Amino acid sequence: MSFFRIEGGVPLSGRVRVAGNKNEALPAVAATLLTDEPVVLHNLPDILDVRVMLDVAVSLGAEVTRLSPHAVRVHTPVLKTAQVPDDLGRRVRASILFAGSLLGRAHEAHLPPPGGDVIGRRRLDTHFEGFQALGANFRYDDEGFHLVAEHLRGGDLLLDEASVTATENLLMAASVAEGETILNNAACEPHVQGIARMLNSMGADIQGIGSNRLVIQGVPKLHGCEFHIGPDYLEVGSFIGLAAVTGGEVTIENAAPEHLRMIRMVFARLGVETRVIGQDILVPGGQNLKIRQDLSGGIPKVDDAIWPQFPTDLMSIAITVATQSQGTVLFFEKMFEGRMFFVDHLIGMGAQIILCDPHRVVVVGPTRLVGQRVQSPDVRAGMALLIAALCSQGVTTIHNIRQIDRGYERIEEKLQRLGARIERISDGN
């Protein structure tokens, strides 16, 4: 196992380019199984979760050819099985996305319970209720989830929650179902829009992309395509946060600013200035961070919600930024009851944070953080702790960095190019 050793207190500056969107890449890999023709994926992030998804695809019959560090060709002329291997499926939550592609291609899917971040209860009911509405029979036992559908038929569905992965799963199945499917209360995040466009480039007929009402006309067969995965706006948000708290000037290249309006608005509430320059985002150096009070003079609140509201995956980053901003702010995490517990690490580093309950914390800043030994509990909290380490006094070691590697491609190399004193060290185990 490896860990990061960080010497904090160094302003970061320079230019950085974010990787392809992790949450778009994972369903894109699953969607390649819907056709027996080759699919080429460009701007694919070289991260742990993507590698696991490609391994799952190979186990199901795909031939994967690496064309470049960030491009692969996936060709599945014949599916060998509709059973996702237990060891691989349990390593990544996105393995659930093979349900839609396997059901659409083989009319059956068998999956173990998926892995992923432990950030609270993450229900899967919406997926399977949707599949049943399309004509699939569903069974759950000790070995996992089992879906069988002699025929998939479209229907008018109202999702009981705007689940991203359920929307993507149902889009894949509905694309090759008989007749018309309407998905009401669908998720509409940028990566969901991306997968809908990828399916359309494979011959699907999906209308309403970008809205919460998607209309899909089923087609008998999908074909191959070349698809370019968009930039990861969550990584952009992470770099905005780390630039602000370290005090340097950082330009984030190819950041797709059209997806950052709410993110930039929330960071501005924490005192972070950002500027749009074409497709880039500039974070000016030497900022005096100050939390902006509500017009009434009250303590401001930052909460997360479904798109286009502030994304839950950036709550950990925003909390860390708030520890370095003057003032008081309440964070209300509505979506996951386990995400906030990482603040114990920040408190141990010197942050003034009150954990009110599993969903709410109050942050009072600024505080001088001091390097400590910490553990990364999940992808985004791991990045938040890395940001805290970069603005701390002294040395921080971050362990369990496999979690960070799941979502950020060679993050230490990007940070080193910005001037960070960070190294990956093997502990010999």
In order, the DSSP letters of 132-159 are HHTT-EEEEETTEEEEE-SS-B--EEE-
Q: Which of 153, 137, 166 is nearest to 27 (CA)?
A: 166
Domain ranges of the chain: 2-19+231-426, 22-228
Cis ω for the linkage preceding 311 (within 30 of 0): no
- Taking only the tens place, the pLDDT of each residue in 19-47 is 999 999 999 999 999 999 999 999 999 99
In this prediction, residue 91 carries a pLDDT of: 87
In this prediction, residue 429 carries a pLDDT of: 56
| Alpha carbon distances (Å) from 201 to 39, 41, 388 | 10, 12, 42
- Taking only the tens place, the pLDDT of each residue in 94-116 is 999 999 999 999 999 999 987 64
Gap between the Cα atoms of 237 and 282, Å rounded: 12
Please indicate whether the domains covering 2-19+231-426 and 22-228 agree at the CATH topology level. yes
DSSP string of 328-378? EEEEE--S-TTGGGGHHHHHHTT-EEEEEETTEEEEEE----B--EEE--S
Query: Is 303 in the active site?
Result: no
Q: Residue 118's pLDDT band (boundaries 50, 70, 90)?
A: very low
Q: Which of 306, 295, 305, 264 is nearest to 281 (CA)?
A: 264
Q: Residue 46 in contact with residue 229, Cβ under 8 Å?
A: no
CATH for 2-19+231-426 is: 3.65.10.10
pLDDT at 129 over 50: yes
Q: Residue 353's pLDDT band (boundaries 50, 70, 90)?
A: very high
Bridge partners, residue 102, by sequence: none
Gap between the Cα atoms of 406 and 118, Å rounded: 13
Mean pLDDT for the chain overall: 94
Helices (H) and strands (E) in the chain, counts: 14, 23
The CATH fold assigned to 22-228 is: UDP-n-acetylglucosamine1-carboxyvinyl-transferase; Chain (3.65.10)
- Taking only the tens place, the pLDDT of each residue in 287-338 is 999 999 998 888 999 999 999 999 999 999 999 999 999 999 999 998 877 7
In this prediction, residue 25 carries a pLDDT of: 98
Residue among 117, 232, 304, 378 flagged as catalytic:
117
- Taking only the tens place, the pLDDT of each residue in 142-196 is 888 999 998 999 999 999 999 999 999 999 999 999 999 999 999 999 999 999 9
State the sign of the Cα–Cα–Cα–Cα dihedral 5, 7, 12, 14: negative
Q: What are phi and psi of 221, to 5 degrees?
A: -155, 145
In this prediction, residue 338 carries a pLDDT of: 77
